Amino acid sequence: MKWFDSLANTITNSLWQASCPLCKRPSDRILCKDCDRQIAAYQSPDFLQKDYPITPEIPLYSWGIYDGALKRAIAACKYDNHPEIMEAIAEKIADTWKRSANTKTPSLKKISVIPIPLHANKLKSRGFNQAELMARRFCDLTAMTCKPQLLRRDKDTKAQMQTKSKQEREENLSKAFTVPLNQQSKPQDVILFDDIYTTGATIREAIATLAANNIKVKGVIVLARPQFKS
Ligand SMILES: [Zn+2]
């Protein structure tokens, strides 16, 4: 009954083999080799964005450039319900972080990581916060501590891309975040984690809220940023 076994195997394999969420072809990993390679092509040449810090004291790290296959992967995660894509990409960020010279500083190990939170409404409609998924996986792999509980988003802001002027953007984000009362007593150093860095307004608002509560942001890690215009 060899043919039967082989047919049974084929059926079992085709039933159980997972497919790549981006191209739908069978893959034994989350992302197939081809999509993985296409995403890797959008890795930024430098992880540390030397010429574009958040402030002179707060460095920005961006794994990739927000374009092409990487941009499509982020959209597939958020709007096509594929949170596993972010976990796969978080592994790349962790690898890059571990290779980066900065991580040799022992004090960095004591720094916790805060993902930029989503408002409860958005969390409910999407079902997950992609920044938190990434931050958690990143922390698993770098032995850092993930503390999403330190920051909450109380204001259901518009997407920054829908705002027209700088003033409107600032008002949209003003008082968007709070540090929950039971988290306010401990001064500490943290790194912020987000998926896409655009104007930096969201990040700056989060930094200001944390600073007002004795929580100092020592750096910001994002998956992707647009090409900065020089
Ligand atoms: Zn694929």
- In this prediction, residues 185-195 reach a mean pLDDT of 90
By residue range, what is the domain housing residue 152? 18-225
Is 176:190 a contact under the CB 8 Å cutoff?
no
pLDDT band at 4 (very low <50, low <70, confident <90, very high): low
Q: What is the residue type of 106?
A: P
Q: Cα of 43 to ligand 1 centre, how many Å?
A: 17
As beta bridge partners, residue 103 has none
CA of 137 to the centre of ligand 1 (A): 21
Over its C-alpha atoms, the chain yields an Rg (Å, rounded) of: 20
Q: Is residue 97 part of a domain?
A: yes
How much distance in Å is there from the Cα of 91 to the middle of ligand 1?
17
Q: Judge whether 10 lies within some domain.
A: no
Task: Decide if 59 is inside a domain.
Answer: yes
* Distance separating alpha carbons of residues 93 and 73, to the nearest angstrom: 15
Question: Which residues make up the environment of ion ligand 1, defined by Cβ < 5 Å?
Answer: 20, 22-23, 32, 35
Q: Is residue 9 part of a domain?
A: no
pLDDT in the model for residue 68: 95
Q: What is the pLDDT of residues 34-69, one digit of tens each?
A: 999 999 999 999 999 999 999 999 999 999 999 999
Instruction: Count up the domains in the chain and report the number.
Output: 1
We report the CATH number of the domain holding residue 79 as 3.40.50
| Torsional sign, CA 62, 68, 71, 77 | negative
- Say if 98 falls within a structural domain: yes
In a domain, 148, yes or no: yes
DSSP 133-176: HHHHHHHHHHTPEE-GGG-EE-S-PPPGGG--SHHHHHHHHTT-
